[in-house]
């Protein structure tokens, strides 16, 4: 990452006696997955460009416990949750933004009952609010007029009824936003949720990500936009298996905005 | 002697309603076998949901063809029941068309019942074609009893509506003949076209036809009422409580198991004494079971869900796992839960209290392969027109598999041990979490 972009940690802020406006919860995919790291960096660039005073937990961050909970390991989930809540509460965190809908859902909905009550936003919601406040400039740039279809992440869409924030951002990019036949509350899963990301699928006649990629390809897109690192992986794999990776990109909404401005 | 029909009618009514009540009490008893869960909050929102989703059919019409046809049958069913009220009063008192004094309003009511009856007949015919002729996967995949059950209900509707119209057609003939008791009342926009079929019949034959249709109509309704308990069709009653008690939380929010919270908080409490003897009242109680392996481990709302399910299959048709050929079908999860609950209920009826039958919901009804195919995407929950959550049952059963049996697929065990050891589902060191910033 270029020198200009600094990513402060909560520990550093604490040492200086400062509090950031918002905590950026990077998540496991955003921290470790090579593809998702690019999303993390793009989002950080946008935060800087909008002059958002943010910090990350860095080495003090740990898995939210989402995949453990969906697998049925409530015990491990709650151990993770309670530990994370101790860290977050010690830093007196009020507002959290994350680029992962699974972290978003867990932090927002499942932490409060365990003592962790924060104002949690998905990065597309946060970027939309920056846009509305006039802090972030989103304009066409190189994606103007491109055919883009948005794949709704289940844990952002159906799970939490957030459908418009990512679409509003894409419209601002002056792209040609085309909906798949199954979208919004009828959107089809990419196949990664419920901890499926970490296991082989059960026997069947097709992989879920292929089915979903076919939905996307029907719209003849230049780009498939995603809002989740796991959806991104699944759709990227799907595009590859259809041998379309040379003509179709799978990109996160944050990457699209950052790239449009050549950040 | 003249009171014999009244007496027979009252006996039929009491028997019909009595037997139905007995069976409904069993349903309630079975639902109460579930664990307690508090759904007494937000009464206003719950009432609103019930009015919108069950009464207003708001989710039914998301699929316009099936939705609108269903609304027709539903409205027909509800409104034609006003006619049933008249039939019951006539039957008990030995009167004929007791509401006729309403005059113009009566004509309007009878007229609209007839039009609805015709619309119901047309809708039911289309339903039958959809179920048996058109290639609709969610109906094609129903075999055996569930398939027959769906058709039997349609046949019931056809018979009841036909009897209703026949009764009116014969009545109209009798009114025109000026037969005794058959006062001129009502308007007959549909049966006036059936009526000519009976031209030339004697008054006696017409009375026999009219009475015959009247009796078979009301007896048919009582049989239909009692058939509900043995069929998938209880939704006509249970959709209302089911939408009222439905989950109000965001769909992504899964409940935190309280029993686990207690353990976790104890582990995290530095002042807890690990060697402390259990409290007096705790010593004898068995530790709570995590998750569900049988219906009695589920909560009562999940069991109510299973009785409410009418096997429409919208859930399964939206399920990503099912669409890609996996064994999982959310509809089957609900049907299995009800079948097993019914089996447990019958066991209690037979033995006084439940006697172990060596069976359970897990493995004997729902296989692990089905459970592990779920992506927890909530498509099934979103699709259900009456607020059923198959996902919550799947999750509770996964909890049993993982926390009581350690029976997760090995890939998932690796993922979980990674989270335990290094705070991420992959084997990366937590100390490297900020390295993306240096690359």
How high is the ipTM of this complex?
0.95
Minimal-distance CA residue of chain B relative to A7 = B437
Query: What pLDDT sits at residue A99?
Result: 98
Interatomic CA distance for residues A238 and A209, integer angstroms = 6
Alpha carbon separation from B255 to A116, A118, B192, B303, B383 (Å, rounded): 15, 18, 59, 17, 21
Question: What pLDDT score does A105 carry?
Answer: 98
B:211-250 residues touching chain A, CB 8 A cutoff: 249-250
In this prediction, residue A6 carries a pLDDT of 82
pLDDT tens-digit profile of A131-156? 999 999 888 788 999 999 999 999 99
Question: Does the residue A222 lie in any domain?
Answer: yes
Q: What pLDDT sits at residue B280? A: 65
Q: Rounded mean pLDDT of chain A?
A: 95
- Residues A61, A117, single domain; the answer is yes
Cα gap B136→B147, rounded to integer Å:
13
Mean pLDDT, residues A230-255: 97
Give the 3-state DSSP-derived string for chain B, with helices as H, strands as E and coil as C.
Answer: CCCHHHHHHHHHHHHHHHHHHHHHHHHHHHHCCCECCCCCCCHHHHHHHHHHHHHCCCCHHHCHHHHHHHHHHHHHHHHHHHHHHHHHHHHHHCCCCHHHHHCHHHHHHHHHHHHHHHHHHHHHHHHHHHHHCCCCHHHHCCCHHHHHHHHHHHHHHHHHHHHHHHHHHHHHHHHHHCCCCCCCCCCCCCCCCCHHHHCCCCHHHHHHHHHHHHHHHHHHHHHHHHHHHHCCCCHHHHHHHHHHCCCCCCCCCCCCCHHHHHHHHHHHCCCCCCCCCCCHHHHCCCCCCCCCCCHHHCEHHHHHHHHHCCCCCHHHHHCHHHHCCCCCCHHHHHHHHHHHHHHHHHHHHHHCCCCCCCCCCECCCECHHHHHCCCCCCHHHHHCCCCCCHHHHHHHHHHHHHHHCCCCCHHHHHHHHHHHHHCCCCCCCHHHCCHHHCC
Cβ–Cβ contact A160 with B under 8 A: yes
A94: domain CATH number? Answer: 3.40.50
Q: Residue B366: which of B394, B387, B400 has the closest Cα?
A: B394
Residues 231-260 of A with CB under 8 A from B: none
**Are the CB atoms for B409 and A199 separated by under 8 Å?**
yes
* Calpha distance B93→B9 (Å, rounded): 10
**Is A254 a residue whose pLDDT tops 80?**
yes
Tokens linked to B274: 């690990």
Of the candidates A105, A130, A246, A71, the residue with the CA atom closest to the CA atom of residue B408? A71
Own/partner long-range contacts of B42-47 (Cβ < 8 Å, ≥24 apart): B42/B248, B45/B248, B46/B244, B46/B245, B46/B246, B46/B248, B47/B244
Gap between the Cα atoms of B134 and B127, Å rounded: 10
pLDDT band at A4 (very low <50, low <70, confident <90, very high): low
Domain boundary among A108, A131, A154: A131
- How many angstroms separate the CA atoms of A80 and A27, rounded? 13
- Answer yes or no: is pLDDT of A1 > 60: no
CB atoms within 10 A of CB A42: 22
The C-alpha atoms of residue A238 and residue A213 are separated, in whole angstroms, by 5
- Lowest mean pLDDT segment, chosen from A13-17, A217-221, B18-22, B183-187: B183-187
Q: Give me the number of domains chain A comprises.
A: 2
Can you tell me the mean pLDDT for A40-48? 96
Rounded distance between C-alpha atoms, residue A106 and residue A116, angstroms: 11
Cross-chain Cβ contact A201/B373 below 8 Å: yes
Q: Is residue A123 part of a domain?
A: yes
Q: Does residue A2 form part of some domain?
A: no
One domain, residues A111 and A23: yes
Task: Find, in chain B, the residue whose alpha carbon is nearest to that of A110.
Answer: B253
Query: Of A97, A131, A165, which closes a domain?
Result: A131
- Sort out which chain B residues have CB atoms less than 8 A from A26's CB and list them: 433, 436
Residue B268 has what pLDDT? 82
Given a contact cutoff of 8 angstroms between Cβ atoms, the answer to whether A143 and A260 are in contact is yes
Give which of B335, B312, B322 is closest to B70, Cα–Cα.
Answer: B312
For residue A24, what are the β-bridge partners?
A: A97
Of the residues A94, A114, A131, the one at which a domain ends: A131
A113 plus A177 within the same structural domain: no
- Going by CATH, does the domain composed of B258-408 fall within 1.10.1060? yes
How far is the C-alpha of A96 from the C-alpha of A125, rounded, in Å?
11
Domain of residue A167, CATH code: 3.40.50.2300
Q: Does the residue A111 lie in any domain? A: yes
Q: For residue A58, is it left (φ>0), alpha (ψ between -120 and 50) or beta? A: left
- Residue A184, domain extent: 137-260
Q: How is residue A17 written in tokens?
A: 């006696």
Q: Do A154 and B377 touch (CB under 8 A)?
A: yes
Pairwise CA distance, residues B89 & A108, whole Å: 57
CA distance B271 to B265: 11
Tell me: do A21 and A118 sit in the same domain. yes
A148 with A204, same domain?
Answer: yes
Q: Which residues of B328-363 are buried (b: 16+ CB within 10 A; e: fewer)?
A: bbbbbbbbbbbebbbbbbebbeeeeeeeeeeebbbe
Interface residue of A35, A161, A194 to substitute, partner B, most B CBs within 10 Å: A194
- CA terminus-to-terminus distance, chain A: 12
Is the model's pLDDT at A3 over the cut of 60? no
Which parts of chain A are beta strand (E)? 22-25, 54-55, 95-98, 119-122, 147-150, 176-177, 223-226, 249-252
Q: Are residues A245 and A212 in the same domain?
A: yes
CB contact (8 A) between residue B411 and residue A158:
no
pLDDT tens track of chain B, all 439 residues? 678 889 999 999 999 999 999 999 999 999 999 999 999 999 999 999 999 999 999 999 999 999 999 999 999 988 888 888 999 999 999 899 999 999 899 999 999 999 999 999 999 999 999 999 999 999 999 999 999 999 999 999 999 999 999 999 999 999 999 988 898 989 999 999 999 999 989 999 999 999 999 999 999 999 999 999 999 999 999 999 999 999 999 999 999 998 899 888 888 888 877 777 766 666 566 778 899 999 999 999 999 999 999 999 999 999 999 999 999 999 999 999 999 999 999 999 999 999 999 999 999 999 999 999 999 999 999 999 999 999 999 999 999 999 999 999 999 999 999 999 999 999 999 999 999 998 8
Q: Is A82 left (phi over 0), alpha (psi -120 to 50) or beta?
A: alpha
In three-state secondary structure terms, A186 is helix
Report the C-alpha gap between A217 and A222 in whole angstroms.
9
The residue among A33, A43, A165 whose CA lies nearest residue A97 is A43
Pair A153, A256 in one domain? yes
Determine the distance in angstroms separating the CA of B106 from the nearest CA of chain A, rounded to an integer: 45
Residues A113 and A157 in one domain: no
Residue pair B318/B54 in contact by the 8 Å Cβ criterion: no
For residues A162 and A187, membership in a common domain is answered with: yes
- A-B contacts (CB, under 8 Å): 225
The values of phi and psi at residue B109, to 5°, are: -60, -55
Please tell me whether residues A110 and A179 are part of one structural domain. Answer: no
Inform me whether the pLDDT recorded for A5 exceeds 80.
Answer: no
Interface membership of A69 toward B (CB under 8 Å): yes
Instruction: Give the Å distances, CA to CA, from B269 to A87, A116, B261, B294.
Output: 15, 17, 12, 33
CB within 8 Å: B251 and A158: yes
**Chain A residues inside the 8 Å CB shell of B326:** 201-204
Half-sphere exposure in the Cβ direction for B313 (13 Å, CA): 16
Q: Per residue in A54-113, pLDDT tens?
A: 999 999 999 999 999 999 999 999 999 999 999 999 999 999 999 999 999 999 999 999
**A3 occurs within a structural domain:** no
A1 lies in a domain? no
Chain A residue whose CA is closest to B255: A110
């Amino acid at each position: 990452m270029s020198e200009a972009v600094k990513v402060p940690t909560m520990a550093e802020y604490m040492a200086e006696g400062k509090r950031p406006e918002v905590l950026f919860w990077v998540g496991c995919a955003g921290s470790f997955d090579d593809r998702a790291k690019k999303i993390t960096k793009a989002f950080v660039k946008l935060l800087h460009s909008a002059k958002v005073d943010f910090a990350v937990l860095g080495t003090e961050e740990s898995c939210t416990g989402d995949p453990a909970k969906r697998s049925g390991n409530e015990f491990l989930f709650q151990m993770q949750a309670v530990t994370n809540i101790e860290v977050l509460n010690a830093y007196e965190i009020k507002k959290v933004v994350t680029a992962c809908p699974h972290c978003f859902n867990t932090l927002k909905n499942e932490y409060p009952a365990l003592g962790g009550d924060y104002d949690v936003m998905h990065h597309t919601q946060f970027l939309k609010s920056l846009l509305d406040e006039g802090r972030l400039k989103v304009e066409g740039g190189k994606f103007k007029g491109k055919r883009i279809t948005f794949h709704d992440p289940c844990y952002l869409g159906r799970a939490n009824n957030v459908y418009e924030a990512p679409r509003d951002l894409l419209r601002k990019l002056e792209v040609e936003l085309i909906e798949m036949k199954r979208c919004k509350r009828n959107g089809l899963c990419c196949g990664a949720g419920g901890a499926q990301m970490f296991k082989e699928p059960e026997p069947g006649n097709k992989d879920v990500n292929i089915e979903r990629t076919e939905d996307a390809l029907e719209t003849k897109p230049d780009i498939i936009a995603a809002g989740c690192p796991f959806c991104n992986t699944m759709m990227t794999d799907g595009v590859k298996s259809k041998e379309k990776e040379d003509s179709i990109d799978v990109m996160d909404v944050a990457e699209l905005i950052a790239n449009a401005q050549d950040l | 002697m003249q009171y014999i029909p009244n007496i027979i009618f009252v006996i039929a009514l009491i028997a019909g309603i009595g037997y139905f009540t007995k069976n409904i009490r069993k349903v309630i008893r079975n639902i109460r076998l579930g664990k307690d869960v508090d759904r007494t909050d937000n009464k206003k929102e719950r009432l609103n949901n019930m009015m919108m989703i069950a009464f207003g059919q708001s989710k039914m019409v998301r699929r316009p063809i099936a939705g609108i046809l269903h609304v027709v049958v539903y409205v027909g069913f509800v409104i034609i029941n006003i006619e049933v009220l008249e039939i019951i009063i006539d039957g008990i008192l030995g009167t004929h068309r007791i509401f006729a004094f309403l005059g113009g309003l009566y004509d309007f009511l009878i007229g609209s019942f007839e039009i609805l009856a015709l619309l119901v007949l047309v809708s039911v015919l289309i339903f039958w074609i959809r179920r048996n002729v058109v290639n609709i996967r969610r109906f094609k995949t129903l075999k055996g009893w569930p398939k027959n059950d769906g058709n039997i209900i349609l046949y019931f509707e056809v018979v009841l509506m036909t009897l209703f119209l026949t009764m009116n057609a014969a009545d109209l003939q009798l009114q025109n003949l000026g037969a005794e008791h058959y006062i001129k009342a009502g308007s007959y926009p549909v049966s006036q076209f059936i009526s000519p079929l009976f031209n030339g019949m004697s008054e006696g034959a017409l009375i026999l036809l009219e009475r015959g249709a009247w009796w078979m109509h009301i007896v048919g309704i009582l049989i239909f009422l009692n058939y509900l308990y043995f069929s998938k069709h209880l939704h006509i009653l249970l959709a209302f409580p089911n939408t009222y008690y439905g989950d109000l939380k965001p769909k992504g929010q899964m409940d935190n198991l309280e029993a686990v919270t207690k353990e976790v908080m104890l582990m995290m409490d530095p002042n807890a004494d690990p060697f402390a003897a259990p409290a007096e009242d705790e010593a004898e109680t068995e530790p709570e079971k995590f998750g569900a392996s049988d219906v009695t481990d589920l909560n009562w709302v999940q069991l109510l869900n299973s009785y409410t399910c009418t096997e429409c299959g919208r859930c399964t048709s939206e399920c990503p796992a099912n669409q890609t050929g996996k064994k999982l079908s959310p509809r089957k999860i609900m049907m299995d839960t009800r079948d097993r609950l019914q089996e447990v209920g019958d066991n209690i009826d037979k033995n006084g209290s439940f006697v172990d039958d060596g069976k359970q919901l897990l493995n004997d009804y729902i296989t692990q392969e089905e459970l592990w195919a779920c992506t927890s995407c909530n498509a099934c929950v979103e699709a259900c027109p009456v607020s059923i959550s198959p996902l919550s049952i799947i999750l509770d059963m996964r909890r049993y598999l993982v926390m009581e049996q350690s029976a997760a697929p090995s890939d998932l065990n690796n993922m979980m041990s990674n989270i335990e050891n290094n705070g991420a589902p992959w084997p990366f060191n937590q100390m490297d979490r900020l390295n993306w910033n240096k690359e």
